[in-house]
Amino acid sequence: MNVYDFTVKDNTGQDVSLKDYEGKVILILNTATKCGLTPQYDAIEATYQKYRDQGLVVLDFPCNQFLKQAPGTDEEIQSFCEINYHTTFPRFKKVDVNGSDAAPLFAWLKEQAPKDKGDEESKAFEKKVRLLKPFAKSGDIKWNFTKFLIDRNGTVYDRYAPAYPPEKFYADIEKLL
Which tens digit of pLDDT belongs to each residue from 64-100? 999 999 999 999 999 999 999 999 999 999 999 999 9
Contact at 8 Å (CB) between 150 and 173? no
Contact at 8 Å (CB) between 147 and 159? yes
Which tens digit of pLDDT belongs to each residue from 147-165? 999 999 999 999 999 999 9
Hey, which residues are catalytic here?
35
CA within 13 Å, CB half, 112: 21
Which tens digit of pLDDT belongs to each residue from 20-40? 999 999 999 999 999 999 999
The whole-angstrom separation of Cα 175 and Cα 155 is 14
Contact at 8 Å (CB) between 168 and 46? no
> Which residue segments constitute the domains of the chain, with CATH numbers given?
3-176 (3.40.30.10)
